[in-house]
Amino acid sequence: MAPTWEERLQGVDCPLCAPRTTIGAFNIEIAKLTIATLYLGRNQVFRGYCVLIFDPRHVTGLQHLSQEENRALIRAGAIRFGLIHLGCPKFSASS
């Protein structure tokens, strides 16, 4: 029997939780960062569409990250992809 919606929210059989394949039906792994993994979406409705998946535990949204986890996620992505270097105000690692 498939998990209920409530069970899915708790992480039961979550297809996004680790371990994940590097090449899957929907995503291709691009980079392992310190706290997340970046995947290129196979369905390129928008050129370069990617998904950044938080690795340490199951979460269903950014609001479920602690302040430290949120900063680490932003810092990992921003440093890796040059957003801090470019001075992008929405991705300040110090805020």
Three-point CA angle 63, 68, 74, nearest 5°: 75
What letter does residue 83 receive in the DSSP assignment? T
Give the pLDDT of residue 80: 64
φ/ψ of residue 2, rounded to 5: -70, 145
* pTM confidence score: 0.73
Give the pLDDT of residue 81: 65
Q: 46-86 pLDDT, tens per residue?
A: 888 888 889 999 998 889 999 999 989 888 876 666 554 44
The whole-chain average pLDDT of the chain stands at 81
Give the pLDDT of residue 82: 58
Residue 92 pLDDT > 60, yes or no? no
Three-point CA angle 56, 47, 57, nearest 5°: 10
